[in-house]
A and B are shown apart, each in its own frame.
Chain A
């Protein structure tokens, strides 16, 4: 085997296995909104996060904003936010419903594509967030229980909810 083949074959093997695959989409934004705010309708937020607001949110939540979240104002009061956090390999897309006063009404995991840690989709774990506001720590092992074996996902989703609460506190209140 010539030298170039010796080195090129393993590389070709890696690239050949990296074909795209489909995401596990559990809920669309519309479905998640109906689940969190039954019977209500949502209007896209007319505002736009300024750079100063983004920095303030990042500082308050201790989490970087990699992509602007999608925000809707819900009829009857409340906010519906669709955001993403990093999973181990891909993004975890989630929705947070906030009351008119900024407390978490419900969270839903919309897309999850990781090998492990899908336990964060469980009702019991997600129920921990109900009633949390920007004043709460929203930290793993403080006011949010970790899921053993799903620590990375637990931590990142918790951080994402903390960022959503900070977003309300800084930009929507």
Chain B
């Protein structure tokens, strides 16, 4: 309990303290268009009148003690309203398995995560303009959190700027994301009612053979409960490889990200953080184009 001594000071059950993650938080979950990476997004949009269906499966596993596996399933439908504007709706579900994880009750259950929507508008094309630029707004209503599958009534809003630059006849693709998130209603899963976060990601991938891309990506997130910059909670950085394969009507992406750095204000270790995060994140996506 040493890590959460500050929280205990406020007499909050350790159960809730461990469940500090928001659904859209450390593992951004709603996606758009064909994804070359698991976690980083590009500036392309769907052509007008086209649908995409996505299924994403994310495994978050390994904490400092105990056995922990958090599976996130996101099922998403996306539509291109114009060649520059697309929107999507997604259903999130979770499966949580943990045994002996500090400050988290043992669990082995499925929970309904919630509903998410996204809108993305492309301002500049990565295929025609010097750099691709898009703005994206994600929002959601979440019933259970992603760490313990605990009850919450969260609403969140997450605007984001997306940059994409392609090189060598579009065989080398670089993407950069930066965004923020405001979330309300995170209790009772968390101690605090609301939270502010900054999050970003970057990736570079190369088309090493027809249909195949291989690259590396990383994503970072910092959180401040109660929208208070004096109340820093934790920062985490993940990085790892991403493999993408696409055919005419479908694509798949597999990404593995390792927590290369983490620091939580209430944790002693300063190289990794495990209260809300895990050591490994593995994400598999499949998309179908209509």
Contact = CB atoms under 8 A, between A and B. Distances in A.
A99 interface: no
Contacts of A140: 128
A115 B59 contact: no
User: Interface range on chain A: under 10, 10 to 19, 20 to 34, or 35 or more?
Assistant: 35 or more
Interface of A: 1, 6-7, 10-11, 13-14, 17-18, 21, 24, 63-64, 85-86, 88-91, 113-117, 140-141, 146, 148-152, 155-156, 159
Interface residues of B, number: 38
A17, A91, A115: most-surrounded residue (chain B CB, <10 A)? A115
Given A14-B245, A17-B252, A24-B248, A88 B170 contact: yes
B187 to A, nearest CB: 32
B254 A11 contact: yes
Contact of A18 (B47, B127, B245): B245
Interface stretch (B113-121, B148-156, B259-267, B281-289): B281-289
Contacts of A90: 210-211
A17 B63 CA distance: 31
B247 A156 contact: no
Given A10-B282, A14-B243, A115 B171 contact: no
A9 B216 CA distance: 20
A6 B169 contact: no
A6 B62 CA distance: 11
A150 B47 contact: yes
11 contacts: A1-B69, A10-B59, A10-B282, A11-B254, A13-B252, A14-B254, A21-B247, A89-B210, A90-B210, A149-B83, A156-B170
B125 A151 contact: yes
Q: Which label, helix, strand, loop or mixed, suits the secondary structure of the A interface?
A: loop
Interface string B201-221: 000000100110000000000
B284 A10 contact: yes
Contact of B61 (A6, A14, A24, A63): A6
A148 B168 CA distance: 22
B108 interface: no
Nearest to B49: A149
A91 B169 CA distance: 12
Contact of B169 (A17, A86, A114, A149): A86
A17 B127 contact: no
A21 B251 CA distance: 13
A64, A86, A149: most-surrounded residue (chain B CB, <10 A)? A149
Given A14-B243, A21-B247, A89-B210, 9 more contacts: A10-B57, A10-B282, A17-B245, A86-B171, A91-B210, A115-B249, A141-B128, A149-B80, A152-B127
